[in-house]
Amino acid sequence: MLLAVDVGNSTTVVGVFCGDRLLHRWLLSTSTGRTVDEHALLISGLLERAGMELQADLTGVVVGSVVPTVTETLRALFLRELSGDAHPVVIGPGVRTGIAIRHDHPQDLGADRIANAVAVSALYGGPAVVVDLGTAISVDAIDTSGAFIGGAIAPGILTGAEALATRAARLPTVEPVAPPSAIGRSTTTALQSGIVNGAAGLVDGLVSRISLELGQGVTTVATGGTAELVLDRCGTVDHHDPALTLKGLRLVWERNAR
C-alpha cells in the first residue's frame, strides 16, 4: 500500500493506493501547529479505520506540501515511523517527476502544481490545462510534449469572499452557493452571484486565454476542494477529477521508487 499526503494551505488530503487504484481518501484541516506525534495519531487513526497499520501495511509514502513547516513535520514523522523500503518521497528539488518543467523559477513551484501536471500529462497528454480550485485558483498549462510551462494564479473562491467581507464594512459573510439567478435581488444573493458566477467566469476566461496560446486540441481538467461550487457554471472544463493531485503524487513516488 502507498500512502499519499497532499498538504494544501487550508486542507490536507490523505489517500491510500493499492497499485494505481485509490482505495481511501480522507480530508483533514491543515494546521501548522500540529506536532509529529499529533500527525502520527491522526494518520494512524485513519489507517486503523481502514484496517491498516502505519508500520506494517505501507510499502511507501509520498508527500506533496505547500506548507514548509508541515512538510518538515511529516518528513520527520515518516522517517521515524517507517523502515526499510517504505521511505518517504517528498516533492522538492532532486525528486524525479518524469516531466520537463519549463518554468523560469522551478524552485518556486508548489508541489500541488507539479503533481497535477504529472497526473494530467500521464492520463490525458498534452496540450492540456489544469484548473485547481483551492485557497488559490491555479490554471496551469501543459504543452504538446507533456511539459509544464507555466500558468496563472488568482485568489480562491473562499479566499476572495473572506477578503471582501473583511475589507467592506457593510458586506456580510455569506454561504458560497449559487443563487437562482445572476441578478441578485438582495445583498446576500448579489454577493453569492458575484462569488460563484465570478469565479466561474474567471476560470473560463483564464482557460480560454491559455488554451489560445497552447493551440488546438486542448483538454481541460479541474480539481480542488471548491471545484464543485462552480464547475456546473463553467463552459471550458472537460473533466473533473477530485483525486488528481493524489494520482500525480503516486506517479512521482513510482518514478523515484524505481
- List, for residues 91-117, the tens digit of each pLDDT value: 998 899 999 999 999 989 999 999 999
Residue indicated by cell numbers 437562482:
180
In a domain, 103, yes or no: no
Give pLDDT, residue 172.
Answer: 86
How many separate domains does the chain show?
Answer: 2
Domain of 238, CATH number, reads 3.30.420.40
In a domain, 20, yes or no: yes
When pLDDT is averaged across residues 161-179 and rounded to a whole number, the result is 88
8 and 70 in a single domain? The answer is yes
In a domain, 205, yes or no: yes
84 and 131 in a single domain? The answer is no
The average confidence (pLDDT) of the chain is 94
Q: How far apart are CA 113 and CA 126, in angstroms?
A: 16
85 and 135 in a single domain? The answer is no
In a domain, 108, yes or no: no
Give pLDDT, residue 170.
Answer: 85
Catalytic (active site) residue 112: yes
In a domain, 113, yes or no: no
In a domain, 102, yes or no: no
161 and 207 in a single domain? The answer is yes
155 and 46 in a single domain? The answer is no
When pLDDT is averaged across residues 141-145 and rounded to a whole number, the result is 97
Q: Is the pLDDT of residue 20 over 80?
A: yes
Using DSSP bridges, classify how beta strands 136-142 and 239-240 pair: parallel, antiparallel or unpaired. Answer: unpaired
Choose one of 90, 105, 137: the last residue of a domain: 90
**14-28, 50-64, 121-135 — which is least confidently predicted?**
50-64
Categorize the per-residue pLDDT at 84 as very low, low, confident or very high, splitting at 50, 70 and 90.
low
| Structural domain range at position 59 | 2-90
Which among 37, 57, 104, 112 is annotated as catalytic? 112
84 and 174 in a single domain? The answer is no
User: Per-residue pLDDT tens for 182-239?
Assistant: 999 999 999 999 999 999 999 999 999 999 999 999 999 999 999 999 999 999 999 9
Choose one of 34, 64, 90: the last residue of a domain: 90
Q: Is the pLDDT of residue 258 over 70?
A: no
59 and 167 in a single domain? The answer is no
Burial label for 206, CB within 10 Å (0-12, 13-18, 19+), is buried
Give pLDDT, residue 87.
Answer: 77
196 and 145 in a single domain? The answer is yes
Give pLDDT, residue 86.
Answer: 67
In a domain, 34, yes or no: yes
Categorize the per-residue pLDDT at 41 as very low, low, confident or very high, splitting at 50, 70 and 90.
very high
In a domain, 249, yes or no: no
